[in-house]
Structure 1
Amino acid sequence: MNIIDRTLSFIAPGIAVKREKARTEIVRQQAVRNVTSQLIGSSGSNGRGYGKHGASSSKSSMLFWQTPAGDADVDIHQNVPKLRERARDLHMGTDIVAAAHKGLRTNIVGTGLRLNPSFDAKFLGLNEVKAEELRSAIQREWSLWADTTKCDAAGLSDFYQLQALAFISTMMSGDVFALMPSKKRPWSIYDLKVNLIEADRCATPPEKTVIDRDLIQSGVEVDADGMVTAYHFSNRHPGADGYNLTGANEWVRVEKYGKRTGRVNVLHLFEAERPGQRRGIPVIAPIIESLKQLSQYTSAELAAAVITSMYTVFITTPADEEGGSPFDGVGMDDDDLDGTDNVPGSNGDEIKLGQGAIMRTDPGEDVKFADPTRPNPNYEAFVRAMLKQMAAALELPYEILTKQFTSSYSASRGALLEAWKMYRMRRSWLSKTFCQPIYEEWFVEAVLKGRIAAPGIFDDPAIFAAYTKAEWHGPSQGLLDPTKEVDAAVKRMENNLSTATRETAEINGGSWEDNVRQRAYEKTRLKELGLTESPSGSATPVMPSEPSKEGDADNDDEEGGE
Structure 2
Amino acid sequence: MNPIDRIINTLSPSWALKRQAARQKLSILNSGYSNHGANTTKKSMLGWNYFSRSPDEDITKNLNILRQRSRDLYMGGAALATGALKTARTNVVGTGLRLKPSLDAAFLNLSEAEEVELKASIEREFALWSESLDCDSMRMNNFFELQQIAFMSQLMSGDCFAMLPVTPRKHAVYDLRVRLVEADRCCNPGQDSSINPNGKDIRGGVEMDADGAVVAYWFAKNYPQVFMTADKQEWVRIEAFGEESGRRNVLHLMESERPEQRRGVPLLAPVIESLKKLGQYTEAELMAALVSGMFTVFIKTNTPENGPIGQSIPMEDLIDEQDEGSYELGNGSIVGLAPNESVETANPGRPNTAFDGFVTAILRQVGSALEIPYELLVKNFTSSYSASRAALLEAWKMFRMRRVWLANDFCQPIYEEWFTEAVAKGRIPAYGFFDNPLIRKAYTRAEWHGPAQGQIDPLKEVNAAKIRVEEGFSTRERETSELTGGSFEANLRQRMREERMRREAGLSDEGGENKNANNNKNILEPETDDE
Normalising by the smaller structure, the TM-score range is 0.7 to 0.9
| Residue pairs, 1:326-345, within 5 angstroms | 327=307
Q: Structure 2, unaligned stretches of length 5 or more?
A: 1-12, 313-317, 514-531
* TM-superposed deviation, 1:531: 2.4
Among 65, 73, 83, the alignment partner of 2:56 is 73
Q: Between 268-277 and 487-496, report the one with greater CA deviation.
A: 487-496
| Residue pairs, 1:178-189, within 5 angstroms | 178-189=162-173
User: Match for residue 5 of structure 1?
Assistant: none
Aligned: 1:272 with 2:256: yes
User: Match for residue 113 of structure 2?
Assistant: 129
* TM-superposed deviation, 1:242: 2.5
Q: Secondary structure of the residue that 1:347 maps to in structure 2?
A: coil
Q: Aligned partners of 1:328 and 1:376: how far apart in 2?
A: 35
User: Match for residue 20 of structure 1?
Assistant: none
* TM-superposed deviation, 1:118: 0.3
Q: Aligned partners of 1:478 and 1:74: how far apart in 2?
A: 41
User: Match for residue 522 of structure 1?
Assistant: 498
Aligned: 1:228 with 2:204: no
Among 225, 232, 241, the alignment partner of 1:257 is 241
Q: Secondary structure of the residue that 1:532 maps to in structure 2?
A: coil
Q: Aligned partners of 2:311 and 2:299: how far apart in 1?
A: 14
User: Match for residue 169 of structure 1?
Assistant: 153
- The answer to whether the Cα contact below 8 Å between 2:56 and 2:203 also exists between their aligned partners in 1 is yes
Q: In angstroms, what is the RMSD of aligned CA positions?
A: 2.4
User: Match for residue 16 of structure 1?
Assistant: none
Q: Secondary structure of the residue that 2:252 maps to in structure 1?
A: strand
Among 325, 334, 346, the alignment partner of 1:358 is 334
| Residue pairs, 1:177-256, within 5 angstroms | 177-206=161-190, 209=194, 210-211=196-197, 215-242=201-228, 248-256=232-240
Letter in 2 for 1:327: G
Aligned: 1:476 with 2:456: no
Letter in 2 for 1:131: E
User: Match for residue 444 of structure 1?
Assistant: 420
Q: Aligned partners of 2:100 and 2:486: how far apart in 1?
A: 11
The alpha-carbon distance between structure 1 residues 533 and 201, as it changes in their structure 2 partners (threshold 3 A), is same
- The answer to whether the Cα contact below 8 Å between 2:294 and 2:332 also exists between their aligned partners in 1 is yes
* TM-superposed deviation, 1:36: 5.9
User: Match for residue 6 of structure 2?
Assistant: none
Structure number with the bigger relative contact order (C-alpha 8 A, sep ≥ 6) is 2
Q: Aligned partners of 1:329 and 1:84: how far apart in 2?
A: 55
Q: Aligned partners of 1:239 and 1:366: how far apart in 2?
A: 50
Letter in 2 for 1:136: A
Among 417, 436, 454, the alignment partner of 1:460 is 436
Q: Secondary structure of the residue that 1:224 maps to in structure 2?
A: coil
Among 356, 367, 383, the alignment partner of 1:407 is 383
* TM-superposed deviation, 1:344: 10
Letter in 1 for 2:369: A
Q: Aligned partners of 2:283 and 2:320: how far apart in 1?
A: 27
Q: Aligned partners of 1:534 and 1:312: how far apart in 2?
A: 69
User: Match for residue 84 of structure 1?
Assistant: 67
The alpha-carbon distance between structure 1 residues 148 and 328, as it changes in their structure 2 partners (threshold 3 A), is closer
* TM-superposed deviation, 1:530: 2.2
* TM-superposed deviation, 1:476: 0.6
- The answer to whether the Cα contact below 8 Å between 1:345 and 1:357 also exists between their aligned partners in 2 is no
- The answer to whether the Cα contact below 8 Å between 1:318 and 1:326 also exists between their aligned partners in 2 is no
- The answer to whether the Cα contact below 8 Å between 2:219 and 2:237 also exists between their aligned partners in 1 is yes
Letter in 1 for 2:127: S
Q: Secondary structure of the residue that 1:462 maps to in structure 2?
A: helix
The alpha-carbon distance between structure 1 residues 226 and 61, as it changes in their structure 2 partners (threshold 3 A), is same
Q: Aligned partners of 1:112 and 1:361: how far apart in 2?
A: 63
Q: Aligned partners of 2:82 and 2:319: how far apart in 1?
A: 42
Letter in 2 for 1:79: N
- The answer to whether the Cα contact below 8 Å between 1:87 and 1:173 also exists between their aligned partners in 2 is yes
Aligned: 1:510 with 2:490: no
User: Match for residue 21 of structure 1?
Assistant: none
User: Match for residue 297 of structure 1?
Assistant: 281
Q: Aligned partners of 1:107 and 1:161: how far apart in 2?
A: 14
Q: Aligned partners of 1:463 and 1:282: how far apart in 2?
A: 38
| Residue pairs, 1:103-182, within 5 angstroms | 103-182=87-166
The alpha-carbon distance between structure 1 residues 37 and 211, as it changes in their structure 2 partners (threshold 3 A), is farther
- The answer to whether the Cα contact below 8 Å between 1:177 and 1:268 also exists between their aligned partners in 2 is yes
* TM-superposed deviation, 1:212: 5.2
How high is the TM-score relative to the length of structure 1?
Answer: 0.83
- The answer to whether the Cα contact below 8 Å between 1:112 and 1:164 also exists between their aligned partners in 2 is yes
Q: Aligned partners of 1:214 and 1:355: how far apart in 2?
A: 66
Letter in 2 for 1:182: V
Letter in 2 for 1:88: R
Q: Secondary structure of the residue that 2:253 maps to in structure 1?
A: strand
Which digits, 9 at most, give the CA deviation of each residue in 1:178-233, with x for residues without a partner? 00101111221110010000000000112864425771110001111111110000
Q: Structure 1, unaligned stretches of length 5 or more?
A: 1-23, 333-341, 538-562
User: Match for residue 50 of structure 1?
Assistant: 33
Count of aligned positions = 489
| Residue pairs, 1:415-430, within 5 angstroms | 415-430=391-406
- The answer to whether the Cα contact below 8 Å between 1:117 and 1:469 also exists between their aligned partners in 2 is yes
The alpha-carbon distance between structure 1 residues 293 and 38, as it changes in their structure 2 partners (threshold 3 A), is farther
Q: Aligned partners of 1:359 and 1:448: how far apart in 2?
A: 81
Letter in 2 for 1:524: R
Q: Aligned partners of 1:113 and 1:431: how far apart in 2?
A: 8
The alpha-carbon distance between structure 1 residues 234 and 358, as it changes in their structure 2 partners (threshold 3 A), is same
Identity of aligned residues (%): 50
Which digits, 9 at most, give the CA deviation of each residue in 1:294-317, with x for residues without a partner? 111111111111111111111121
* TM-superposed deviation, 1:98: 0.2
Q: Aligned partners of 2:25 and 2:233: how far apart in 1?
A: 58
* TM-superposed deviation, 1:511: 1.5
The alpha-carbon distance between structure 1 residues 242 and 213, as it changes in their structure 2 partners (threshold 3 A), is farther
Letter in 1 for 2:222: R
The alpha-carbon distance between structure 1 residues 212 and 73, as it changes in their structure 2 partners (threshold 3 A), is farther
Letter in 2 for 1:233: F
Q: Aligned partners of 2:459 and 2:68: how far apart in 1?
A: 47
| Residue pairs, 1:520-559, within 5 angstroms | 520-535=496-511
Q: Secondary structure of the residue that 2:403 maps to in structure 1?
A: helix
The alpha-carbon distance between structure 1 residues 274 and 330, as it changes in their structure 2 partners (threshold 3 A), is closer
* TM-superposed deviation, 1:535: 3.0
Which digits, 9 at most, give the CA deviation of each residue in 1:16-51, with x for residues without a partner? xxxxxxxx9xxx9xx97x9868854xx6xxx11111
Q: Secondary structure of the residue that 1:281 maps to in structure 2?
A: coil
* TM-superposed deviation, 1:257: 0.4
* TM-superposed deviation, 1:464: 0.5
Q: Secondary structure of the residue that 2:180 maps to in structure 1?
A: strand
Letter in 2 for 1:119: L
* TM-superposed deviation, 1:368: 2.8
Q: Aligned partners of 2:251 and 2:119: how far apart in 1?
A: 27
The alpha-carbon distance between structure 1 residues 48 and 355, as it changes in their structure 2 partners (threshold 3 A), is same
